[in-house]
């Protein structure tokens, strides 16, 4: 497993950007290190899979490959006013019906619209076919194939507010609403199929590109959640809980999202809840407050006290995601007294991740009409024993951590392996999945509900009421 850091830039409050060129270089750096460690090198590889930040938006020149603007990251809120106006319009219900999404700055459609409106000549050039759009998967495939292939998969396309969730096609009315020319859009393909070949100059040999999935759908696949009723939660920068619904297209009554799941044969669906700030709250403690030196230290510090002393941290640093969808909400520390110290604040930050996850799970259960038996977990913060035990306590359900917690990358590998015949069936993959540890609830029901009631009061205080 190899990784390379990518810098996020915050040019204005609520804005989040990355350099698309830096994304490409970082991926190549990490991929080349993986290839160098492989027995037989690049020539031994039967295929590669890609997984990515889903809604992050890149627009570049078809001829040169030069991005015309910084990549607008999924967390960015610069288009919130546009989305709020659209959400209040007569078009809103039909947009949600077609896409399965709420209208929010989170998704790619309004980000593309912003770039075309604010970069000189971008709209006219896009209409002429000179500019291309892609989420990070599309950008990397285009770069790997030296501009020969411009595609995305259904799981990523379903996060743009531009695809009809049922048909799996770009929708003319949605494109018109967001002012996005069809000429700049990638072709939509299956998550598990050979779409092209990575040029030999990049990784040392020509390698088929055989799997593409958005990060959360890839994690669902990597957790062997192939059938309706199985669920997972990924604890990363944000937090994303998905419940597989099989071939049934879900309709949420609790402001969750209907989305395409990564699949091999035929359309598969999932219902999803998205939390904008999870592990990023710990990064904020480290980088902005300086109360910890490393992310791992947060669990040790949190575990050094028995409770927060009534402190709650609502990490609405870029607004609140599901099920609130309040882009104007802002973060809040509440319940602070003279006794509050670093440990209480660190504990409140970690507890906030678990509280937000409970909100998602309750909404999922209400939509699905059934109780989750267990929640499979992955992502960087899933390594925290403190957080996982508190998550089990506040949910009142077992939390199951697999042996391989890097299930996002694993899902991309599974999809590529199936497309190339390296893996023969989903049943083969199910046999690979193994639990490393199960966290059983220890907290009494009374304490659980009292703590969660305090959380809900804290959330209500940070919401926009103007």
Mean pLDDT of 339-358: 96
Instruction: Tell me how many degrees the CA angle 195-201-205 measures, rounded to the nearest 5.
Output: 65
Q: Is residue 212 part of a domain?
A: no
Averaged pLDDT of the chain? 93
Query: What pLDDT is attached to residue 466?
Result: 57
Does residue 125 share a domain with residue 270?
A: no
With 80 as the cut, is the pLDDT of residue 385 above it? yes
Does residue 443 share a domain with residue 344?
A: yes
Q: What is the pTM of this model?
A: 0.86
Does residue 284 share a domain with residue 148?
A: no
Does residue 464 share a domain with residue 320?
A: yes
Query: What pLDDT is attached to residue 463?
Result: 85
In this structure, what token pair is assigned to residue 151? 């595609």
Does residue 305 share a domain with residue 238?
A: yes
Paired sense of beta strands 207-214 and 48-52, if any = parallel
Does residue 239 share a domain with residue 178?
A: no
Q: Which of 180, 205, 230 is the last residue of a domain?
A: 205
Q: For residues 373 and 222, which has the higher predicted lDDT (pLDDT)?
A: 222
Residue 435 main-chain phi, psi, to 5 deg = -80, 135
Query: What pLDDT is attached to residue 351?
Result: 97
With 60 as the cut, is the pLDDT of residue 437 above it? yes
Euclidean distance between CA atoms 60 and 126, whole angstroms = 10
| 258-277 pLDDT, tens digit each | 999 998 888 999 999 988 89
Mean pLDDT of 194-205: 96
Residue 264 main-chain phi, psi, to 5 deg = -100, -45
| 275-296 pLDDT, tens digit each | 889 989 999 999 999 999 988 8
Instruction: Say whether 382 sits in a helix, a strand or coil.
Output: helix
With 80 as the cut, is the pLDDT of residue 419 above it? yes
With 60 as the cut, is the pLDDT of residue 301 above it? yes
Mean pLDDT of 312-329: 89
Euclidean distance between CA atoms 139 and 326, whole angstroms = 30
With 90 as the cut, is the pLDDT of residue 43 above it? no
Cβ 347 vs Cβ 332: under 8 Å: no
Q: Is residue 216 part of a domain?
A: no
Kindly tell me the sign of the dihedral angle through the C-alpha atoms of 149, 113, 284, 443: negative
Paired sense of beta strands 151-153 and 187-189, if any = parallel
Query: What pLDDT is attached to residue 295?
Result: 85
Query: What pLDDT is attached to residue 465?
Result: 65
Q: Is residue 156 part of a domain?
A: yes
With 80 as the cut, is the pLDDT of residue 254 above it? yes
Euclidean distance between CA atoms 100 and 213, whole angstroms = 18
- What is residue 286's DSSP assignment? I
Which domain, by its residues, includes 125? 17-205
Paired sense of beta strands 207-214 and 192-198, if any = antiparallel
Does residue 346 share a domain with residue 239?
A: yes
Domain count, the chain: 2
Residue 317 half-sphere exposure toward CB, CA atoms < 13 A: 23
In this structure, what token pair is assigned to residue 97? 């019906």
| 150-168 pLDDT, tens digit each | 999 999 999 999 999 999 9
72: domain CATH number is 3.30.420.40
């Amino acid at each position: 497993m190899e990784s390379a850091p990518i810098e996020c830039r915050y040019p204005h409050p609520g804005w989040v950007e990355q350099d698309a060129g830096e994304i490409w270089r970082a991926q190549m750096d990490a991929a080349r290190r993986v290839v160098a460690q492989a027995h037989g090198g690049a020539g031994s590889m039967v295929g590669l899979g890609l997984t990515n930040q889903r809604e992050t938006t890149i627009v570049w020149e078809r001829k040169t490959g030069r991005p015309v603007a910084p990549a607008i990251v999924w967390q960015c809120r610069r288009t919130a006013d546009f989305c709020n106006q659209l959400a209040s319009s007569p078009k809103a219900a039909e947009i949600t019906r077609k896409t399965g999404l709420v209208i929010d700055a989170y998704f790619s459609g309004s980000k593309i619209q912003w770039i075309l409106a604010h970069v000189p000549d971008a709209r006219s050039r896009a209409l002429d076919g000179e500019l291309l759009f892609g989420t990070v998967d599309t950008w990397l495939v285009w770069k790997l194939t030296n501009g020969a292939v411009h595609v995305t998969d259904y799981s990523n396309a379903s996060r743009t507010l531009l695809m009809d969730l049922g048909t799996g096609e770009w929708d003319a009315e949605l494109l018109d609403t967001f002012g996005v020319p069809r000429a700049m859009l990638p072709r939509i393909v299956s998550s598990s199929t050979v779409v092209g070949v990575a040029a030999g100059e990049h990784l040392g040999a020509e390698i088929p590109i055989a799997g593409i999935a958005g990060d959360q759908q890839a994690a669902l696949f990597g957790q062997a959640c192939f059938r309706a009723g199985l669920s997972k939660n990924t604890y990363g920068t944000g937090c994303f809980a998905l419940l597989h619904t099989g071939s049934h297209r879900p309709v949420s009554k609790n402001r969750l999202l209907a989305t395409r799941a990564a699949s091999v044969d035929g359309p598969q669906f999932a219902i999803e809840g998205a939390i904008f700030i999870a592990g990023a709250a710990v990064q904020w403690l480290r980088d902005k407050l300086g109360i910890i030196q490393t992310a791992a230290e947060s669990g040790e510090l949190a575990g050094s006290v028995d409770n927060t002393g009534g402190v709650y941290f609502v990490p609405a640093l870029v607004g609140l995601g599901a099920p609130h969808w309040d882009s104007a909400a802002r973060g809040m520390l509440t319940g602070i007294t003279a006794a509050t110290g670093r440990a209480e604040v660190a504990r409140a930050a970690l507890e906030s991740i678990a509280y937000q996850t409970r909100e998602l799970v309750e909404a999922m259960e209400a939509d699905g009409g059934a109780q989750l038996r267990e929640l499979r977990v992955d992502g960087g913060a899933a390594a925290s024993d403190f957080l996982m035990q508190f998550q089990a306590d506040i949910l009142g359900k077992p939390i199951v951590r697999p042996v391989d917690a890097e299930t996002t990358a694993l899902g991309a590998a599974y999809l590529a392996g199936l497309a190339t015949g390296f893996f023969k069936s989903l049943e083969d993959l199910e046999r690979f999945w193994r639990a490393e540890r199960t966290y059983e609830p220890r907290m009494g029901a009374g304490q659980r509900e009292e703590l969660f009631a305090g959380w809900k009061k804290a959330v209500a205080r940070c919401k926009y009421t103007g």
